[in-house]
Structure 1
């Protein structure tokens, strides 16, 4: 086997001598290796990558046996193995990547880890019994990525952590530490810091504001944090801040500024590059800064679940156009949208779900693709929707206070309209034959979720089960605009994804699609002739679904002046 360079084994056992059989091997991956330790004669001197994931290995070498030096080894992957202790790392002088993820029996890291002068990436994720990191880890001057998330027994981070000045990414989420070391200020190259879910973390050291290269800061779920460092706005490089589910009540105070202070230091675009701000689930948050929209690089603002938030700052007409693409203010206390929201010309997604105090929407940005306002039970007024030429999804489910929706017939990009839970009077008024004729001319299928207490007379053919056949009139092609497929859930089960197909029995053409539908929910699908066409002489259409618990109703859409 002198020419063997790469060997992959899985769930196999090898017996006999290993001496000189792998002398030129460069890469060995052995999943579920059965050995408790490596054989003493296992010594592929040219090995560069050694991967032993999910192995039975407790220790790399048998006690009292001389360990080998792997001069060329650069990657060691022992993830999800039964390791109880790590090897003498001086035997791996060239190691660059060390992966011990999921080693749940591992209780300590050998002090010799500090000798790995070339180590770039160290992963200890999910080492649940690991109580401390050796101080020598701070000697890893080439280390760029340190992953210690979900090490739930870890009592503290090394005091001299800041000595790893090459570090660019630190994932320390899901720990139970009380504080961060002040030396963190020396991590001048740190780009990403993830502290998510450290529920016992009492504060962030003010020295964190010295991280001038920091672009991503995730402190979401640090539920014990009620303030943020006073100078956090001075991190000019910060692009993404996840501060969901914190205990802050006033974002101004939490940043250390009073309402009377000049917030330009924090919010002017030349001084902050924030693109993503997540403050969802901050249930005590009542106020957002007046100059919020001065974050002129902001693309995503997620304030969903900030239940005490009752107002957003207005947008001035002179405001520099924001690149804001997604705005989520679901489950807030808002009674109206901010004045001037129409100026958010880049906004694609607006989420307002369960804003139960929202009374009216006066204006909307013109380039929206998605509006979800599910459960806005107090909403009574919408603007005319005719300017929303790019709108693909409009979700107004359970907006029981709505009495009219103007401009639906001009939503030429619409694909999904959700009206479940709306007034049956409103639905009957909206879903007319004329609307279906207009929608069938848009050239794509449209799904409308709506209550169907009474089926219009012109939609006449009905069946219960997973298959039905529909006879076509003898002359149909000239006036035919499309089909209406209605699916009414009979409540036999909780509902699930349903696949369906429509087949022209004459031409054998089949169109397939799918939908999700809940118990006692109804769906109308408009299928235009551009997708499913018929010709004179075509006599029958066959509709088949994968859900027998549906009532299926089929109708045809014809030109307005047709005799059909």
Structure 2
């Protein structure tokens, strides 16, 4: 770059991806230089940059041949340096770079020391994640620091160096070897701390009383309690996912700004510590096998979402008074036998109770806002009585239950999808009669013997009766004007004359319907484009004329 010598007005140099460029010589007289971008180049030496009249930013990221930043030493106008994922093993003596505000050495796997940053009183941001550092004590005099990122520094065992940094707002220290966070105790401006995946961390002592702290992430740590957060009055979110040694949420009670609690897969046995968290919006305690009740949530009037899926809960009575609740997932809670606690929740829109021990859904009759209900594989559930008053219900999935009949679901005027597959005790779809909303009826592997209950479902678009061995015809769908798809593979149907008048039908699957020998009755269906008929008794001359060339076979 010697040809640039004498270019005294030069402000920007962009030589990124210049693999054959080894040095930055020729710029020493360019005192107006503002930016040097040598990202992903072949440089190995950055000597010769000017200490000019304005602020200078240098980008040498991904420069694998660059071993150190010695060439920047003493540049009083340097405000930003990005050496991320470069080959540097040292950051040299940057202590003379008194204006430096931003340093990025992310992913410098050979970098084990940041001593060169010592005492930089204007340094605001340091990203040293995924480096080989063992300590960060050199940061103790960097009094303007706001953000420190050291995540993935697996050899780092202490946050000493951050103690007393009054301006520090963000600490990212996940996946390190730290065993405590006491060094953060004097960081009065701290807003966010991430110590997730620090498996040797057993306590959050050090965060106590930090009045500006908004979010703490401590997932997959060895934390045994979170009482240290009791004085963090601004706290809005805590993540203690997979903290197996954590047994209670004591310490959070009364935190009036707390909105989100994530403690899935943790060892908690109760959530009574959430009582008094009046702003709480979201709680995730899924897969908490030792948790038996939701006591502690009662009366929380801002709570909108609860995920307790696959937990050990036996009762949901603790939901009484949660008038803002919109989403509830307690699927796979095998010990849950009753829905007592949900009755009268006026905002509940989505409820999942699949694979639980419930025997009745009548408690939902007053949940007038309910739109999605999943009760699949509740083997003790034999009736859907109680749902007929739900005028906003759009999706109902009751697969694999013991229901014998459908209630008058035509009153569920918004219903779009009805799924009752694998309900072997269900013999009839009579409760579907007259459903006016666009719906999808999925009925595979059920005991249904006829489709008569679908008469009058004028907006039906898709019907799945595959594997219904006892179903011998489709007479109930005759003339349905919007039906586009019928899946009847492996069913017992022997004729398809019931599809006469289904003028919108586009696709029919009757694969392996062993009793079916003709499709001629479909000749007048103008939109029919696709027929799957492998494994039937149909011969090509039994096809509608438009499909005479179709190879249907008997395989």
CA apart distance, 1:342: 4.8
Match of 1:468 in 2: none
Matched, 1:406 2:385: yes
TM-score normalised per structure 2: 0.71
Please, which runs of 5 or more residues in structure 2 have no aligned partner? 1-6, 406-419, 455-461, 467-477, 491-501, 508-523, 537-555
Shift of 1:54: 2.1
Assess if the C-alpha contact under 8 Å between 1:120 and 1:143 holds in 2: yes
> Contact between 1:234 and 1:272, CA under 8 Å: does it hold in 2?
no
- Does the alignment pair 1:350 with 2:328? yes
Q: Encode CA deviations 1:318-345: one digit per residue, 9 max, x unaligned.
A: x4x5110111122222222115x35322
CA deviation profile, 1:429-464 (whole Å, cap 9, x unmatched): 4972652642x43xx565858645657446899999
Matches within 5 A, 1:165-180: 165-180=166-181
**Equivalent runs, 1:255-274 vs 2, <5 Å:** 255=251, 267-268=253-254, 272-274=256-258
Cα distance change, pair 412–386 in 1 and its aligned pair in 2 (3 A)? same
CA distance in 1, matches of 2:275, 2:140: 41
> Which residue does 2:339 correspond to in 1?
361
CA gap of 1:143–1:199, structure 2 versus 1, over 3 A, is: same
Equivalent residue number for residue 533 of structure 1: none
Give the aligned partner of residue 483 of structure 1.
483
Shift of 1:192: 1.2
Against the structure 1 CA distance between its residues 486 and 190, is the aligned structure 2 distance closer, same or farther, given a 3 Å change threshold? Answer: farther
**Does residue 295 of structure 1 match 2:277?**
yes
Q: Please tell me whether residue 10 in structure 1 is matched to residue 7 in structure 2.
A: no
* Whole-Å separation in 2 of the counterparts to 1:455 and 1:380: 25
Residue 16 of structure 1 and its aligned partner are, at CA, apart by 8.3
> In structure 2, what is the Cα distance between the partners aligned to 1:407 and 1:221?
42
Structure 1 residues 42, 386: CA separation in 2 closer, same or farther (over 3 Å shift)? same
In angstroms, what is the RMSD of aligned CA positions?
A: 4.1
SS at match of 2:37: strand
1:280 equivalenced with 2:259 (yes/no): no
Residue 151 (structure 2) pairs with residue 149 (structure 1): yes
The answer to whether the 8 A contact 2:247-2:269 is kept is: yes
1:322-341 to 2 correspondence within 5 Å?
A: 322-338=301-317, 341=319
Offset, 1:389: 4.3
1:6–1:424: structure 2 CA closer, same or farther, 3 Å change rule? Answer: farther
The C-alpha deviation readout for 1:226-257, integer Å capped at 9, x for no partner, is: 2344x5323222221222333456527x64xx
Distance 1:13 1:47 in 2: 28
Aligned counterpart in structure 2 of residue 418 of structure 1, from 366, 374, 397 = 397
TM-fit CA distance, 1:7: 2.9
Counterparts of 2:304 and 2:314, CA distance in 1: 22
After superposition, where does 1:544-555 map in structure 2 within 5 Å?
Answer: none
Name the CA distance, whole Å, in 2 between partners of 1:58 and 1:368. Answer: 59
Superposed displacement of residue 484, structure 1: 6.4
Q: What residue number does 1:136 align with?
A: 138
C-alpha distance in 2 between matches for 1:342 and 1:360 = 14
The CA deviation at 1:216 is 1.3
Which residue in 2 is equivalent to 1:208?
A: 207
1:30 equivalent among 34, 38, 49: 38
Q: Which has the higher strand share?
A: 1
How far residue 112 of structure 1 moved from its aligned partner, in angstroms, is 2.9
Find the aligned partners of 1:454 and 1:363 in 2 and give their Cα distance.
34
Contact 2:440–2:463 (CA under 8 A) maintained in structure 1 = no
Contact 2:22 2:43 in 1 (8 A): no
Does the C-alpha gap of structure 1 residues 401 and 462 become closer, same or farther in structure 2, counting only changes over 3 Å? closer
Q: Taking structure 1 as reference, are residues 47 and 370 closer, same or farther at Cα in structure 2, changes over 3 Å only? A: same
Task: Give the secondary structure class of the aligned counterpart of 1:136.
Answer: helix
* 2:128 aligned partner: 124
Larger-Rg structure: 2
Deviation readout 1:23-63 (Å, 9 max, x if unpaired): 6443343332222332x34548456332232221432457x
Q: Check whether the contact 2:73–2:95 (CA below 8 A) recurs between aligned residues.
A: no
Whole-Å separation in 2 of the counterparts to 1:446 and 1:8:
59
- Change over 3 Å in CA distance of 1:234–1:7 after alignment to 2: same
Does residue 87 of structure 2 align to residue 101 of structure 1?
no
Output the CA distance in 1 between the equivalents of 2:323 and 2:529: 42
Could you say if the C-alpha distance between residues 548 and 71 of structure 1 is closer, same or farther in structure 2, counting changes exceeding 3 Å?
Answer: farther
Query: Are 1:311 and 2:293 an aligned pair?
Result: yes
Q: 1:394 aligns to what SS in structure 2?
A: strand
Q: Which residue of 1 aligns with 2:471?
A: none
Following superposition, the deviation at residue 17 of structure 1 comes to 7.0
Distance 1:457-1:328 versus aligned 2 partners, 3 A rule = closer
Gaps of 5+ in 1: 256-265, 465-475, 491-504, 512-537, 552-564
2:197 corresponds in structure 1 to 197
TM-score using structure 1 length: 0.70
Q: 1:68-87, aligned counterparts within 5 Å?
A: 69-87=74-92
Indicate the SS of the match to 1:137: helix
- Which structure is richer in relative contact order (CA contacts within 8 A, separation 6 or more)? 1
Change (3 A) 1:103 1:392: farther
